[in-house]
Amino acid sequence: MKKKITLIGAGQIGGTLAHLIALKGLADVVLFDVAAGLAKGKALDIAQSSPVNGFNVNLSGTDNYQDTKNSDVIIITAGVPRKPGMTRDDLLGINLKIIKQVAEGIKKTSPNAFVICITNPLDVIVMALQKYSGLPKNKVVGMAGILDSSRFIYFLSQELKVPVNKIKSFVLGGHGDTMVAMLGSTEVEGKKITELVKEGKLTKERLAQIVDRTKKGGAEIVKYLEKGSAFYAPAASGVEMAESYLKDLKKQLPCAVHLNGEYNTKNIYAGVPVIIGSRGVEKIIELNLTPDEETNFKKSVESVKDLFDAAKKIDPELK
């Protein structure tokens, strides 16, 4: 039986998600958007490329939640992206209202879906989505860590002239300036990056610059594009999560998930390594953090908590 993925938001990321899912033949796609024409037009356009690329999935567009019912996966990008000079947090007010509408729309029509939220400010929006929808915490996750980790690995590969598949690393914590690059577990061709620094192959200063560029990776693209934000790498990251769920790949992926004591953190969403399989978030991997990583992770969680307090002021229902 063909699986069904609904994409709530048919904008830059939503359209790219639809195209990637179609090219991989992963599932039938329903593009949902309040701008119904955008959803219908993109669905039809991608469908018309199927003879060229040889994929065989159904694509449709709609602004009616009934058309999205019984989805296996829902990927949410509904919301507004940043403009130059804006922080992700500046999007809170408007995107909180939007995610409340989306939660209402999906909770009855797809109660068993694996829900991947991409809308910013990610950690607070995904937490609000879970609260508004009441869907199981292990089935409502945020996409950010895969994107941040991918940016970090790419920058390292450019610096060290090493293929990206020879570098292992990930970024944890909130999807913001406080995100934590896990240097203690970063390996380049099997060697710890701290060894490369000792051997003088990479200076501490240069490594710090690369970490900083990763934190600002989104803003760098927003500056170039002027209108809109990154969408190819975010879409690729969302598809990796959907695929691990649909094919029960049990991949270990950095995702924003509900913590209930793990990493000494309770009742907040933050980016940590998890196993994604057919039951959703199947396991939260608890790493031994270096003292630096521990301090930075705590700071990152604090910033998510502060922003969630702001969200509760906007909508007391989130209490």
Binding residues for ligand TXD, per CB under 6 A?
A: 8-14, 33-35, 38, 77-82, 91, 95, 98, 101-102, 118-120, 122, 143-144, 147, 175, 218, 228-231, 234
Nearer to ligand TXD, 78 or 276 (CB): 78
- As measured in angstroms, the least distance from the Cβ of 198 to ligand TXD is 33
8 Å CB contact between 300 and 174: yes
8 Å CB contact between 174 and 126: no
Nearer to ligand TXD, 86 or 197 (CB): 86
**Tokens (6 digits) for 32:** 């949902």
Nearer to ligand TXD, 193 or 245 (CB): 245
- As measured in angstroms, the least distance from the Cβ of 313 to ligand TXD is 20
Active site residue 19: no
Q: Are strands 280-284 and 140-142 parallel, antiparallel or unpaired?
A: unpaired
- Dist. CA 129–CA 116, nearest whole Å: 10
- As measured in angstroms, the least distance from the Cβ of 255 to ligand TXD is 11
Nearer to ligand TXD, 33 or 293 (CB): 33
- Dist. CA 167–CA 231, nearest whole Å: 23
- Dist. CA 122–CA 108, nearest whole Å: 23
Nearer to ligand TXD, 110 or 202 (CB): 110
- As measured in angstroms, the least distance from the Cβ of 28 to ligand TXD is 19
- As measured in angstroms, the least distance from the Cβ of 16 to ligand TXD is 8
- Dist. CA 164–CA 154, nearest whole Å: 6
**Tokens (6 digits) for 307:** 């922003």
Place of tokens 């000494």: 264
- As measured in angstroms, the least distance from the Cβ of 254 to ligand TXD is 11
Nearer to ligand TXD, 202 or 300 (CB): 300
Query: Residue 121, SS3?
Result: coil
Give me the catalytic one of 139, 175, 215, 258.
175
Residue 188 bridge partners (DSSP)? 167, 191
Q: Are strands 59-62 and 28-32 parallel, antiparallel or unpaired?
A: parallel
Query: Residue 88, SS3?
Result: helix
- As measured in angstroms, the least distance from the Cβ of 98 to ligand TXD is 4
8 Å CB contact between 233 and 147: yes
Residue nearest to ligand TXD (CB): 11
**Tokens (6 digits) for 286:** 């608890």
Residue type at 146 in one-letter notation: I
Cis status, amide bond into 121, omega within 30 of 0 = yes
- Dist. CA 30–CA 168, nearest whole Å: 34
Place of tokens 């993925």: 5
Nearer to ligand TXD, 81 or 254 (CB): 81
Active site residues: 175
